[in-house]
Amino acid sequence: MGGVEDETEPATKRMKLSSGVLRSLANGSSGAGSVPGFSGDLMARPLPIEGDEEILGSKGVIRRVELVRIITKALYSLGYEKSGAHLEEESGIPLHSSVVNLLIQQVLGGQWDEGVATLKKIGLDENIVKSASFLILEQKFLEFLDQDKVMDALKTLRTEITPLSINNARVRELSSSILSPAKFVHVGSSSQSSTRAKSRSKLLEELQMLLPPTVLIPDRRLEHLVEQALILQRDACMFHNSEDKEMSLYKDHQCGRDQIPSRTLQVLQVHNDEVWFLQFSHNGKYLASSSTDRTAIIWEVDPHGELSLKHKLCGHQKPVSSVSWSPDDSQLLTCGVEENVRRWDVSSGKCLSVYEKAGNGFVSCRWFPDGKWMCFGANDKSICMWDLEGKELECWKGQRTLRISDLEVTSDGKQIISICRETAILLLNREAKVERLIEEDQTITSFSLSQDNRYLLVNLLNEEIHLWDIQGEVKLVAKYKGHKRSRFVIRSCFGGLEQAFIASGSEDSQVYIWHRGSGELIEALPGHSGAVNCVAWNPTNSHMLASASDDRTIRIWGLNDLKMKHKGPATHCNGVHYCNGRT
């Protein structure tokens, strides 16, 4: 793909010629300014033959010619024209072959027919030549129209564009544009020369995407490679959990374990019995917990990351199994075990509504993203949709949910997710009326949905947590092991920066944290004195994790080096702040 070489002039002479051509272009003789990122030099020193290429680097995978050309391209892109030209001269490696340079000049200079002819000399695949010719001739056509040369435009369309026999839909659009030019011409009429130049440089970008990278190096290629290297380093970093963690080109990126919330900053002791469920509000300013003591509690997170009791929500006659925040965090749903669902006002703590269904108890609750509808799972295995007034709008009967089941609604409101059988999760598309299944070999105990609605975290009876990709065809992505579960509903969650971690409760009183990508267990946090039933990661603070336990407490975990600012009456022990609800 190196291109045709037929010149034997010395490099210096070629350079003079090229800068002369560039100057004439810049002076407006063809209405096109020089375009950053495209070498203006018609240097025709032959590209080295592939076999002769020198290999650089300890791994033997970098070709010297490629590296030099990419650096040259980067220099031109950064505006260092002289340095770019100097590197071409000194290395003897031209950025582009003379034929490609000629093509660039012809495109910028509006020499369309010559450009099409030059394309054929590069030695490209026939389809690429056709597609590139189409782009060039389309530009020729549009500029003719722009100059009111309708007959020339028509001739170009008939005798040059149409015979290419590609992109017929666009050909029809172009022929329509002859009748109503205003709708189609992208070149513009005011300050024609500059607009045309812009349009031609845009054409060059389009050609660049079409031609092989060996012929025309993609724009910002070096930036892209460096960025890619940094992102790969970040993704491989087990502990990366901070937006402001600066990444440098000077050294390989590596975060320490101190980026993971692993120290108890607060112990919340208000519930009078086991705490079963936790969920942070979407804005991260509140935490809701529910307990066997038949209450739910709304905790407020202050700007320093300290939690205090806001409201204790009483009214349920049975243990409260789960809670759900409204999309705007102004309301909260609480669900009693096979009982009713209650809706609460977050600011006042008042109960706004109680939802009941004759002869049935509810087992799960979720908001729809519009905040006007709710979704409930009932113990007759149905899932129903209700409005705020308590009117049932729709009901999916049959084996839709189990008596102990989680429920999720995707953020577009289209999919309802529920455990429909011991070993299967139902993905119910309520608009398309399509049902998909995630089939497991083991009994499913709970699940949670990622923020981007793409992944589902499934807890199994056999002490495994499975990560499923549910976008398109469902597929198992990863497995996480290490925690203990034999009798209880143990919940896990996504969390951390870009949800890069998986956290889970465990019956051995510890909180487990895995790196989501690698599946590696990175922390097992002791502290609780009973089974940890549920964990929740603050969606707006990647360093805040909460855990709920049978020991009746909620623990707030943060970074090891965090200096907490405490206020109000509280007891301290080893830097842990105990809150008994009176602060």
User: Among 155-163, 339-347, 426-434, 526-534, which window interacts with another protein (CB under 8 A)?
Assistant: 526-534
Alpha carbon of 505 to those of 271, 297, 319, 489, 514: distances in Å? 18, 20, 19, 9, 12
Is residue 469 within 8 Å of 454, Cβ to Cβ?
Answer: yes
Smallest gap, in angstroms, from Cβ of residue 364 to another protein? Answer: 13
Is position 489 an interface residue for another protein (rule: CB under 8 A)?
Answer: yes
Residues 6+ apart with CB under 8 A from 11: 43, 45, 89, 92
Q: DSSP label at 527?
A: -
Is position 486 an interface residue for another protein (rule: CB under 8 A)?
Answer: yes
Q: Longest Cα pair distance anywhere in the chain, in angstroms?
A: 94
Is position 220 an interface residue for another protein (rule: CB under 8 A)?
Answer: no
Smallest gap, in angstroms, from Cβ of residue 288 to another protein? Answer: 16
Beta strands in 188-340, from DSSP E residues, in sequence order: 263-268, 275-280, 286-291, 295-301, 307-314, 320-325, 331-336
Is position 477 an interface residue for another protein (rule: CB under 8 A)?
Answer: no
User: Among 26-34, 356-364, 488-496, 570-578, which window interacts with another protein (CB under 8 A)?
Assistant: 488-496
According to CB under 8 A, which one of 41, 146, 274, 408 is a site residue for another protein? 274
Tokens representing 197? 């130049």
User: Among 15-23, 141-149, 214-222, 528-536, which window interacts with another protein (CB under 8 A)?
Assistant: 528-536
Is position 293 an interface residue for another protein (rule: CB under 8 A)?
Answer: no
Give the torsion sign (CA, 163, 164, 168, 171): negative
Q: DSSP label at 157?
A: I
Residues 6+ apart with CB under 8 A from 309: 268, 270, 297, 298, 299, 300, 579, 581, 583
Is position 359 an interface residue for another protein (rule: CB under 8 A)?
Answer: no
Tokens representing 419? 């455990």
Smallest gap, in angstroms, from Cβ of residue 378 to another protein? Answer: 14
Per rule CB under 8 A, count of chain residues that contact another protein: 22
Is residue 154 within 8 Å of 145, Cβ to Cβ?
Answer: no
According to CB under 8 A, which one of 121, 130, 403, 436 is a site residue for another protein? 403
Alpha carbon of 38 to those of 34, 337, 407, 575: distances in Å? 8, 68, 55, 60
Is position 278 an interface residue for another protein (rule: CB under 8 A)?
Answer: no
User: Among 207-215, 482-490, 492-500, 521-529, which window interacts with another protein (CB under 8 A)?
Assistant: 482-490
User: Among 105-113, 178-186, 247-255, 483-491, which window interacts with another protein (CB under 8 A)?
Assistant: 483-491
Is position 361 an interface residue for another protein (rule: CB under 8 A)?
Answer: no
- Rounded to an integer, what distance in angstroms lies between the CA atom of residue 229 and that of residue 235? 10
Is position 266 an interface residue for another protein (rule: CB under 8 A)?
Answer: no
Residue with tokens 């002039």: 9
According to CB under 8 A, which one of 164, 404, 521, 564 is a site residue for another protein? 404
According to CB under 8 A, which one of 84, 319, 361, 558 is a site residue for another protein? 319
- Rounded to an integer, what distance in angstroms lies between the CA atom of residue 112 and that of residue 101? 15
Smallest gap, in angstroms, from Cβ of residue 458 to another protein? Answer: 14
Pairing relationship of beta strands 307-314 and 295-301 according to DSSP bridges: antiparallel
Q: Which one, 276 or 367, has the nearer CB to another protein? A: 276
| Cross-strand partners of 495 | 501
Is position 512 an interface residue for another protein (rule: CB under 8 A)?
Answer: no
Q: Show the site string, 425-464: x = touches another protein by CB under 8 A, - = not.
A: ------------------x-x---------------x---
Is position 279 an interface residue for another protein (rule: CB under 8 A)?
Answer: no
Footprint on this chain of another protein (rule: CB under 8 A):
274, 276, 292, 319, 321, 402-404, 422, 443, 445, 461, 486-490, 507, 530-531, 533, 550
